[in-house]
Structure 1
Amino acid sequence: MHLRSLTTKPPGYALATILTSLGGFLFGHDTGIIGPATVMAEFTKYVGSSSPTIHGLIVSSILIPAAVSSFFAGTLADTLGRPRGIAIGSLIFAIGAALEGASIHIAMFVVGRIIEGIGEGLYLGTLVVYICEIAPPKHRGPLTTGPQLLITLGLVVGFFTCYGTANIPSSLSWRLPFLLLAGYSFAFSAAVYLYLPASPRWLTLHGKADEAAAIWDKLDVPAADREKIINQFELGTIQPASDENPSSSTISFPDPRPTPATQTRKPTMKLPEVLSSDSRPRLLMAVFLMGMQQLSGIDGVLYYAPLLFQQAGLSSIESTFLASGLSAIVIFAVSIPALVWADSWGRRVNTIYGGLGMTATMLLMGGLYAGDAVHADAGPGRWVVIVSIYLFAVLYTVSWGVGIRIFAAEIQPQKTRASATNIAHGSNWLTNFLVALVTPTLLAKTSYGAYFLFGGCTFVTAVACWLFMPETRGKSLDEIDQAFRESQVSGLKERVTGVLRRRVKSRMPTTVDA
């Protein structure tokens, strides 16, 4: 019996999730190589002397195209299907990476990053959408963190690829990481196109119920979970069952065979639908959280880790690259328990406390620099900063890195999920651009400004989540829909009135019986 369990094939939805999550590796690899590659001696010789602003523009040139293309990613995924959208985006990404590695002028390098950004915006947001649509509710949290885990693995591989090529006495030192990235991306695009099944939800919305049923079987999704999903397509009515008693749900639905109405129904993005009274609050919440995720400063740390460690007192290029690689290993290591326990931690509580923890570490580092307590030659200040950089990365990974991307996708109504999620990713790209652009300038002009800026952003986000963010852990998508509707009306009101009542009560004079 035990041997049989060891040889049991993993469910199809798990295998599809693993393949889809490999797209996160590409993003992480690019993030891991761009910072170290652009400070290599051979690259600075290739570019010539450049200001911190030019350095920031080279690094961040991928992000505005990614933001723009992400606004159209939902339409692409809704029209052609999730796997084809992912395959097309990753193919464009591969072409851009190849141009970077083969560039003969810095302008060609920047054009390659722009093309890479277009592809990145098209495919990255769709990864989570696809996994969210095939995952059984009780496994949705861990499965949708798969891309984040692979992002951290890509960071590790990217940093140590540059660590290994840094001493090559030619331009191959910085070209090789980008050429390897292009190869990974071509392989991923081909694998997704050939092997990743279509989303059954997408098939059902296009009136292909028979194909959807076959895909559900291929993905090994239990019948009870399929029944919950039927309600998302308005094919019937489902009273959600509790997680403890999944058989308690009552289901009624009409003939699921395609009708002329369902056959002609095309779920492409329509801006009025995304901005409707039902969808707008969730879109705004996702846009805010995905934007503030970057304003936490995480990509400032990842892109410019060598500069941060150099500022803290590590002088040699090898030591800064090694410290950067170790930070990636730490992030990857904590991503594993974060993935396993994703559904054991509440989305709301994890986001709030994670934000407060990141605020504390950022303000600590900023305060040490502002107080001139960080010295390269001696003193504990520099080691406190170095440890705090690692601690910040850990806090981000186990909280915002895991929860926010899941939350942004799962709170959206089915009809606008792909479009709204990709618009939210557009917000992420835009703020990422700002962080990548201004971080080297802030570090050059003031040693503490960036830390105070990012610390303030994480604090504001934690407060906003305390006021407005509903809990979605362990809920079906239909239950999330209901919880979010209720939270928009009662959440803020209950918290504010509770605070006012406590204040009034504290000011009332006490009475003493005669």
Structure 2
Amino acid sequence: MQLRNMALQKPAGYVLASILCSLGGFLFGIDTGIIGPVTVMEDFTQYVGNPTPTIHGLIVSSILIPAAVSSFFAGRVADALGRPRGIAIGSFAFGIGAALEGASMHIAMFIVGRIIEGIGEGLYLGMLMVYVCEISPPRNRGAFSMGPQLLTTLGLVTGFFTCYGTANVGSSLSWRLPFILLAGYSLVYSMAVLIWLPPSPRWLTLHGKTKEAEDTWERLGVPAADREKILEQYDATVVEPAIPDARGDNSAAHSTPVTVATPKSKKGELLDVFSSESRPRLFLAVFLMGMQQLSGIDGVLYYAPLLFQQAGLSSTESTFLASGVSAIVIFAVTIPATLCADKWGRRTQTIFGGLSMTATMFLMGSLYAADAVRPGAGAGRWVVIVCIYVFAVLYCISWAVGIKIYAAEIQPQRTRASATSIAHGSNWLTNFLVALVTPTLLAQSSYGAYFLFGACTLLTAAVCWVCMPETRGLSLGEIEQAFRDSGRGLSGLKKVGKVVQRKVLRRMPAAVDA
């Protein structure tokens, strides 16, 4: 009977809220999965006019600069309107842009749709991680924060196989239908967020709505022991109101601590992320999020059909199928990576993941440089095809897991939304560069792109070895205190690693029990 009751027990509210929030990653994944195959469909190339590699890159990357610009302001929108409203507005704009792409009458209209889609994407995507990070218990924060990434990989599978299914339609519907479906998904998601996603209790607390914050914590089902203390992260005071029970007894057993946020002056608020306290963490997050894209992952995802063509797969169907299989592999490995997100150290994932991806990229570049990859003959092309899959797997179990979580969790609470948005802006800008130059690099040199991306991952691993402190297993408050205790600048970041290591060692028995 007890097992039956456990099986029928409803998941905690924060679990359901995290899943709903993470579905935003599904939309992003679909767009990433369809844009590469769409741009090599015969009907689309005729519609565009057989674009050059540079124009091809511009079509794909036109979504990214608007996303970068809007992501810089996403934190302000999230702080002003709340996380759910910001996510809903962004996903609605994303859907409108996708609808314009699917209904475009000429290439200019298609590009306008990509731009509007990018504005929405930049607004909502960065907020997903912030929201999940703010409602998740510390011991589960890594796994839940990986939800958007997991759903992104599911979106990749959906996008690739949607194009695989429509490629032989024989009309412009072959490339229009994927965008029309994406628009429908986006608008439904926007409405669902507005209706069912509760506001962040931390956002409510920051805006002085302490009673609503307490009610939301209860609605989310987060245990009192797991509710992050924000006393050190805001100008706040804690009061212990006596809550009478049914007998009118005002005993301490029935009192709940309430954090009351003191209103913060808005003067200089926009520049808080560049204060001496916040600046080192902001710069570290911006660097990591930028280099995440310079690993070349979106070059692989956007242009998977081109990469497989270059490696010797000739037909459109075979390249689309190979791209779809790569998406399935990515999704499959992201599931255990998500479940183990809080078991692996962020620093370890980033450094060793970077070194492994470097080796994979250098191997592919070396094979092309040695002219060992030839269509229809030789083992070199199969080594490259396998390496493409291996690279995607390595990325998904390392940088995809840790970097986005890390960029959000190391920020001070009062600047977390803004700093995370700026870091995502860095991600979008470098993503634009990768999407723009990859077709040209592939056309000009068979190996240049691989050596470039490999060098970037090697540089990142070296920088992280020097100045990336570990944060796994700590609450946001403990991370904040570790940074405060360590001082400023690079020397401060080094000290944080030592402070955090001591905290982790002290917490090991408790973590095992939990």
TM-score of the superposed pair, with normalisation by structure 2: 0.90
- How many pairs are equivalent? 478
2:88 and 2:190 in contact (8 A); partners too: yes
State the partner residue of 1:489.
Answer: 491
State the partner residue of 1:244.
Answer: none
State the partner residue of 1:330.
Answer: 329
State the partner residue of 2:307.
Answer: 308
State the partner residue of 2:447.
Answer: 448
Q: Deviation of residue 272 (structure 1)? A: 1.9
Alignment of 1:324-363 (within 5 A): 324-363=323-362
1:16-71 deviation digits (Å, cap 9, x = unpaired): 00000000000000000000001000101111121000000000000000000001
2:231 and 2:237 in contact (8 A); partners too: yes
Q: Deviation of residue 493 (structure 1)? A: 8.5
Q: Which moved more, 1:481-490 or 1:272-281?
A: 481-490
1:181-205 deviation digits (Å, cap 9, x = unpaired): 0000000000001110000000000
Distance 2:67 2:386 in 1: 32
1:27 and 1:151 in contact (8 A); partners too: yes
State the partner residue of 1:176.
Answer: 177
Compared CA separation, residues 481 and 129, structure 1 to 2 (3 A): same
1:86 and 1:124 in contact (8 A); partners too: yes
Q: 1:145 aligned to 2:157?
A: no
Distance 2:222 2:478 in 1: 19
Q: Which moved more, 1:70-79 or 1:476-485?
A: 476-485
Aligned-pair Cα RMSD in Å: 2.0
Instruction: For 1:309, give the aligned amino acid.
Output: F
Alignment of 1:159-198 (within 5 A): 159-198=160-199
Distance 2:401 2:265 in 1: 32
Distance 2:175 2:68 in 1: 26
Alignment of 1:92-111 (within 5 A): 92-111=93-112
Q: Which moved more, 1:466-475 or 1:229-238?
A: 229-238
Q: Deviation of residue 377 (structure 1)? A: 1.5
Distance 2:25 2:409 in 1: 18
Percent identity between the two aligned chains? 72
1:231 and 1:237 in contact (8 A); partners too: no
Distance 1:266 1:2 in 2: 53
State the partner residue of 2:22.
Answer: 21
Compared CA separation, residues 268 and 69, structure 1 to 2 (3 A): farther
1:75 and 1:269 in contact (8 A); partners too: no
Secondary structure in 1 matching 2:222:
coil
Q: Deviation of residue 102 (structure 1)? A: 0.2
Compared CA separation, residues 266 and 385, structure 1 to 2 (3 A): farther
State the partner residue of 1:54.
Answer: 55
Distance 2:437 2:46 in 1: 23
Compared CA separation, residues 38 and 124, structure 1 to 2 (3 A): same
State the partner residue of 2:456.
Answer: 457
Q: Deviation of residue 237 (structure 1)? A: 7.9
Instruction: For 1:89, give the aligned amino acid.
Output: G
Q: Deviation of residue 227 (structure 1)? A: 5.4
Compared CA separation, residues 97 and 193, structure 1 to 2 (3 A): same
Compared CA separation, residues 330 and 267, structure 1 to 2 (3 A): farther
Alignment of 1:317-466 (within 5 A): 317-466=316-465
Distance 1:96 1:58 in 2: 14
Q: Deviation of residue 234 (structure 1)? A: 4.3
Distance 1:141 1:349 in 2: 14
TM-score of the superposed pair, with normalisation by structure 1: 0.90
State the partner residue of 1:202.
Answer: 203
1:79 and 1:267 in contact (8 A); partners too: no
1:298-349 deviation digits (Å, cap 9, x = unpaired): 0000000000000000000000000000000000000000000000000001
Distance 1:112 1:24 in 2: 19
2:238 and 2:260 in contact (8 A); partners too: no
Distance 2:268 2:175 in 1: 40
1:82-114 deviation digits (Å, cap 9, x = unpaired): 000000000000000000000000000000000
Q: Deviation of residue 376 (structure 1)? A: 0.7
Compared CA separation, residues 66 and 229, structure 1 to 2 (3 A): same
Instruction: For 2:207, give the aligned amino acid.
Output: H
2:237 and 2:259 in contact (8 A); partners too: no
State the partner residue of 1:245.
Answer: none
Compared CA separation, residues 493 and 8, structure 1 to 2 (3 A): closer
Show structure 2 runs of 5+ residues with no match: 240-254, 498-514
Distance 1:457 1:477 in 2: 30
Q: Deviation of residue 483 (structure 1)? A: 3.1
Secondary structure in 2 matching 1:470:
coil
Q: Deviation of residue 489 (structure 1)? A: 2.4
State the partner residue of 2:504.
Answer: none
State the partner residue of 1:249.
Answer: none
Distance 1:424 1:90 in 2: 20
State the partner residue of 1:129.
Answer: 130
Instruction: For 1:489, give the aligned amino acid.
Output: S
Distance 2:50 2:3 in 1: 64
1:111-153 deviation digits (Å, cap 9, x = unpaired): 0000000000000000000000001101101000000000000
1:205 and 1:266 in contact (8 A); partners too: no
1:156-204 deviation digits (Å, cap 9, x = unpaired): 0000000000000100000000000000000000000111000000000
Show structure 1 runs of 5+ residues with no match: 239-252, 496-514
State the partner residue of 1:228.
Answer: 229
Compared CA separation, residues 269 and 388, structure 1 to 2 (3 A): farther
Instruction: For 1:108, give the aligned amino acid.
Output: M
Distance 1:104 1:266 in 2: 50
Distance 1:372 1:237 in 2: 68
1:78 and 1:267 in contact (8 A); partners too: no
Distance 1:290 1:111 in 2: 26
Q: Deviation of residue 480 (structure 1)? A: 1.2
Distance 1:196 1:267 in 2: 28
Compared CA separation, residues 494 and 175, structure 1 to 2 (3 A): closer
